Amino acid sequence: MSHSNLIKLLTYLGTSPFFLAIYISISNQLFLGVDGTQWFLTYGLVILSFMAGTLWGQVMRDSLKVKRIALATNAITLAAWFAFLLAAPSIALLIVALGFIALYVLELFVLSHISRPDYYIGLRLRVTALVLVAHGVMFLQV
């Protein structure tokens, strides 16, 4: 398996816990004593933080303008975390979904300063759309 195919496979597999959490929620089950909404939100926070961290790490050695992206990624992640802690699940879902959109937009800007493989931005768009669809489905469940 080529490197790019492995990256694509792992990226798409990374969306599967969202859909597993939706299934848990729709079926009104608990998994390890936790409901589907909690699984979904906490996994969303993990992935949002991971994506923000990878972007943050890539821009630290670039220009000051690009370094501001690092601050923005921290703000996005902290907003999602505070929403999880303090807001109703439906509001937290919305804020986390907006965080994924914001990170995608920031990454588009970064792409003009940092090279990525040709397939990357298309993959990133498709996976972000898939994650947003999952957020929409879960939003209808809460």
Asked if residue 70 is part of any domain, the answer here is yes
Does pLDDT of 102 surpass 80?
yes
pTM: 0.91
State the total domains in the chain. 1
58-101 residue pLDDT tens: 777 666 566 778 788 989 999 999 999 999 999 999 999 999 99
**Token output for 54:** 């990878």
Kindly state whether residue 1 falls inside one of the protein's structural domains.
Answer: no
pLDDT tens digits, one per residue of 22-69: 999 999 999 999 999 999 999 999 999 999 988 877 777 666 566 778
Count other C-beta atoms under 10 Å from residue 84's C-beta: 19
User: What would you measure as the largest C-alpha separation in the chain, in angstroms?
Assistant: 49
Does 96 map to a domain? Answer: yes
- Please check whether residue 45 lies inside any domain of the structure: yes
Q: Which amino acid is at 114?
A: I
User: Is 92 contained in some domain?
Assistant: yes
- 2-37 exposure pattern, b = at least 16 Cβ within 10 A, e = fewer: eeeeeebeeeeebbebbeebbebbeeeeeeeeebbb
pLDDT of residue 117: 85
Compute the residue count for the chain.
142
- Residue 2: per-residue pLDDT: 87
- Read out DSSP for 68-83? HHHHHHHHHHHHHHHH
pLDDT given at position 58:
75
pLDDT in tens, 8-19: 999 999 999 999
- Is 99 part of any domain? yes
Residue 68: the pLDDT is 79
CA pair distance 74, 63, nearest whole angstrom: 18
More confident residue, 121 or 63: 121
Q: What residues have CB less than 8 Å from 67, skipping those under 6 apart?
A: 59, 60
Examine residue 13 and state whether it is found in any structural domain, yes or no: no
Does residue 8 sit within a domain? Answer: no
